A = this chain, B = another copy of it.
């Protein structure tokens, strides 16, 4: 390779640093951070291509031990950070292929990928990879939107459609899909109803609050059981006060304290992959969104470490 890496060899929005300064390779790795800086499928604000960089930078202040779960997640999983996939902003399909390939290679080695999006469309690439290795998977989906809109001005692939595309492609076990935290204004009632018609479980913010997340998650645990399970977390699940740096904000969400309590209770699933999407650093002047994202990555890794243990 020729140095320096000119932007025509690797896009200039791709990071060189790593999450918590992890190495790119380690023996017996069980978890791998992978950047997916693709944001062209966004419909409103753009800039999630800078999220992997920002989240890694925010991770510098995290410490290795998780005091609630009592694990050293990155040590116990020999976690690595393989850097960013060289996505191509102007070509959705080639970018999906590149991301699917990167995630798929990890999965084939038994490594759990933790994707740093990117807009939410990147999850489709991960689910394609997952389905090839594990067959249709269960999905735990935190978000304020169902992302099951069909098309956007006739375009099928955008950040509002990954979970209808995944359904069409048979990547998911619909009854084992839980969409958690849905809220906000809609085009019409069908926006949510169509998701239920796909067979998905839609839990709105109101329902989550009224029933109590422990009860909802207990039901989810019963239904999903040991099915290989992917967890996708759209940061706009959280209230804008705690996560202002995202693209399609919905006021009225849960706080970061509530969010962490929920995520920390999600032990016992058979996780085969994670991602965290829709962090937009240009809209995050205090960097609290990136820090929350980095903390959630620490938690996701802990969920894997607990399972290995």
Q: Establish whether residues A17 and B15, one from each chain, have CB atoms under 8 Å apart when the complex forms.
A: yes
Smallest CB-CB separation from A23: which chain B residue? B3
Tell me if A104 counts as interface (CB < 8 A to partner B).
no
What 1/0 mask marks residues of chain A from 24 to 64 whose CB sits below 8 Å from any chain B CB?
00100000000000011111111101000100110011111
Given A47-B45, A60-B12, A189-B67, verify A90-B152 contact (CB < 8 Å). Answer: yes
The smallest C-beta distance from A102 to any residue of chain B, in angstroms, reads 16
Smallest CB-CB separation from A5: which chain B residue? B21
Tell me if A175 counts as interface (CB < 8 A to partner B).
no
Q: Establish whether residues B245 and A286, one from each chain, have CB atoms under 8 Å apart when the complex forms.
A: yes
Q: Establish whether residues B256 and A239, one from each chain, have CB atoms under 8 Å apart when the complex forms.
A: yes
Tell me if A226 counts as interface (CB < 8 A to partner B).
no
Contact of A47 among B47, B90, B94 (CB under 8 A): B47
Q: Establish whether residues B242 and A251, one from each chain, have CB atoms under 8 Å apart when the complex forms.
A: yes
Tell me if A252 counts as interface (CB < 8 A to partner B).
yes
Smallest CB-CB separation from A91: which chain B residue? B155
Indicate how many identical chains form the complex: 6
Interface residue SS majority, chain A: loop
The smallest C-beta distance from A234 to any residue of chain B, in angstroms, reads 15
Tell me if A120 counts as interface (CB < 8 A to partner B).
no
Question: What residues of chain B lie closer than 8 Å to A3, measured between beta carbons?
Answer: 20-23, 26, 74-75, 79
Q: What would be 24 A-B contacts, judged by CB atoms less than 8 Å apart?
A: A3-B75, A4-B64, A5-B21, A6-B20, A7-B63, A11-B44, A13-B44, A15-B17, A16-B56, A40-B89, A44-B61, A63-B187, A64-B187, A65-B188, A66-B186, A67-B184, A67-B189, A88-B154, A90-B155, A90-B158, A239-B242, A240-B256, A240-B292, A251-B256
A interface, CB within 8 angstroms of B: 2-8, 10-13, 15-23, 26, 39-47, 49, 53, 56-57, 60-68, 70, 72, 74-75, 79, 86, 88-92, 94, 152-155, 157-158, 183-189, 191-192, 204-206, 239-242, 244-245, 248-249, 251-257, 259-260, 282-286, 288, 291-292, 295, 298
